[in-house]
Structure 1
C-alpha cells in the first residue's frame, strides 16, 4: 500500500518505533541505547522517552537511569485482542487440545509478512514455552506462516513480498519470492504442516488451518510446539498431528455455528 508522506507525523512514527525497540532481550533501555535503536540523537530520544513516560507507556527502572515498558502498553494489545471474534469460542477447543497432547498450544493469525500469536495455553509438562501472546515471527520461515500464506494466490504473495528483506534461519528457509512460491506450491491444500527443526533446530511444531466455512477461506491457525525430544517423530507426525487437525476442524465448525465468521 502506497502512503502519502505528507500526512505522516514524524514524531508519532519515532514514538512508535521507541515502543517497538523494547523486547524480551531488551527489557530496559537507557536514553543512549534508545537513541541508537531508533537512529535519533540523544536529545530527541530523551524527549520521546519523557513524552511516553508522561503518557504512562514507560516508567523509569528503580535506582537507574533506564526505562521499561509500563502496563498501559497492554491496554492497546487487549483492545485489539478483544476485537477478535475467534478468541472466546476457540479457548475451550485449544484447552482441550492442550490437555490431550500436554504441550503448548497456540492460536495464530497472519498480519502481512508476519504471523502473530494471539492466544496460548501453556504445556502441562516440564517444558515452558517462551512464545507469548503478541509474539511475531516471519511468515515465510515458519510452517504456520507458510500454511496461512498458502491461502493467498501466487500473485498476492508476489505483491506482498515485493522489496522484502529476506532472512534465513535454517537450511530450509525460503530466501526469495521464487523459493517461497515453490514451497507454498508443495504445501497448499494440506490438512496440516509439521516442522521438525524447520524454524528452530531443536523444536517441533504442527499447525492446522481454521476456515471460514461459508467461503472456505483460511482465517487463522491452531498449532502446537515442543522440544524434539518430547515425542518420537512417528508419534508427533501421527497422533499429535491428528489431534491438531481435529481441533482445527472443530474450531472451524464452532466459529460458523456461532456466526463469528459466517
Structure 2
C-alpha cells in the first residue's frame, strides 16, 4: 500500500515496532535492545518504552531494567479476534477434533506474509504442543500459510511479496516468488495439506481451509500437529487428514449458519 509520509507519525511507528519486537524467544528486552530494533538512540528508546509502560502496554521485568509485554496488549488481540466471529463456534469443533485425533489442534489465520495461531486445544496424548496463541510463522514456508495464500490471485501474491526477505527452513521452502507461485499452483484447491517435516523437520502437520460460504473466500485454517512419527505416516495422511477436513467443513457450515441468523 502506498503511503504519504506527510501523514505518518514516526513516534507511533516506532512504538508499534517496539511492541512487535517481543516474541516467545524474546519475552523481555532492554532499552538498548529496543533502541537497536527501532533504529533510534537510547534516549529515544527509553521515552518510547516509558510511554508504552505508562499506557499499560509494557511493564518492567523482574530485574527492573528490562521490559516485557503487559496484559493490555491482549485486549487489542481479543478485540480483533472477537470481530472475526471465529473463536466461539470453533472451540467445540476443535475439541472434538482433538478427541478424535488425541493431538494438538489449532485455528490459524493469515496476516500479511505471516500465519498467526489464534486458538489452540492441547493434545490429550503424550505429545503437547509448544505453539501458543499469538505465535507467528512465515506463510511461504508452511503448508497452512501456502493454503491460505492460495486464496489470493497470482498478482496479489506478487504484490504481497514484493521486496520480501526470503527465509529458508528446509529443502522444501520456496526461496523466491516464482517457486512460491509454482507451489501454490500445485496445491490450490486441495481439501487439505499434509506436512511431514516440511517446515519443522521434527513435526508433522495437517491443515484444511475454512470458507465463508457466502462468497467462498478462505478465512482461516484448521490444523493439527504432532512430532514426526508420533502417528504412523499412513494413518496421519489417511484418518487424521479426513478428520481435519471434516472439522473444517463443519466450521465453514457453522459460520455460515451463524451469519445467516437475524
Partner SS state of residue 67, structure 1: strand
**8 Å contact 1:255–1:261 — kept in the other structure?**
no
Q: Deviations over 1:229-254 (max 9, x none)?
A: 21111110011001001111111111
Which stretch has the larger CA shift, 207-216 or 191-200? Answer: 207-216
- The aligned residue for residue 163 of structure 2 is 163
Q: How does 1:60-139 map to 2 (within 5 A)?
A: 60-139=60-139
**8 Å contact 1:196–1:204 — kept in the other structure?**
yes
**8 Å contact 1:208–1:223 — kept in the other structure?**
yes
Deviation of 1:259 after TM superposition, in Å, equals: 1.5
Partner SS state of residue 152, structure 2: coil
Closer/same/farther in 2, CA of residues 260 and 12 from structure 1, 3 Å limit? farther
Closer/same/farther in 2, CA of residues 166 and 230 from structure 1, 3 Å limit? same
Q: Distance in 2 between matches of 1:67 and 1:134?
A: 19
Closer/same/farther in 2, CA of residues 53 and 121 from structure 1, 3 Å limit? same
Q: How does 1:13-32 map to 2 (within 5 A)?
A: 13-32=13-32
Q: Distance in 2 between matches of 1:261 and 1:207?
A: 28
Q: Distance in 1 between matches of 2:29 and 2:103?
A: 34
Deviation of 1:256 after TM superposition, in Å, equals: 1.2
Partner SS state of residue 182, structure 1: helix
Tell me the number of residue pairs that the alignment of Structure 1 and Structure 2 aligns: 262
- The aligned residue for residue 52 of structure 2 is 52
Deviation of 1:260 after TM superposition, in Å, equals: 6.5
Closer/same/farther in 2, CA of residues 72 and 185 from structure 1, 3 Å limit? same
Q: Distance in 2 between matches of 1:260 and 1:248?
A: 18
Partner SS state of residue 147, structure 1: helix
Which stretch has the larger CA shift, 100-109 or 22-31? Answer: 22-31
Q: How does 1:167-182 map to 2 (within 5 A)?
A: 167-182=167-182
Q: Distance in 1 between matches of 2:237 and 2:62?
A: 49
Deviation of 1:261 after TM superposition, in Å, equals: 10
Which stretches in structure 2 are left out of the alignment for 5+ residues? none
Q: Deviations over 1:138-196 (max 9, x none)?
A: 11110001111111121221222122111111110011111011101110111100000
Which stretch has the larger CA shift, 140-149 or 35-44? Answer: 35-44
Q: Deviation above 4 Å: which 4+ runs of structure 1?
A: none
**8 Å contact 1:85–1:260 — kept in the other structure?**
no
Q: Distance in 2 between matches of 1:77 and 1:217?
A: 23
- The aligned residue for residue 259 of structure 1 is 259
Deviation of 1:37 after TM superposition, in Å, equals: 2.3
Q: Deviations over 1:30-79 (max 9, x none)?
A: 21122122221111111111111111111222344222211111111111
Which stretches in structure 1 are left out of the alignment for 5+ residues? none
- The aligned residue for residue 208 of structure 2 is 208
Closer/same/farther in 2, CA of residues 260 and 75 from structure 1, 3 Å limit? farther
Q: Deviations over 1:180-227 (max 9, x none)?
A: 111011101111000000000100000001112223221111000110
Please give the root-mean-square deviation of Cα atoms over the aligned residues, in Å: 1.6
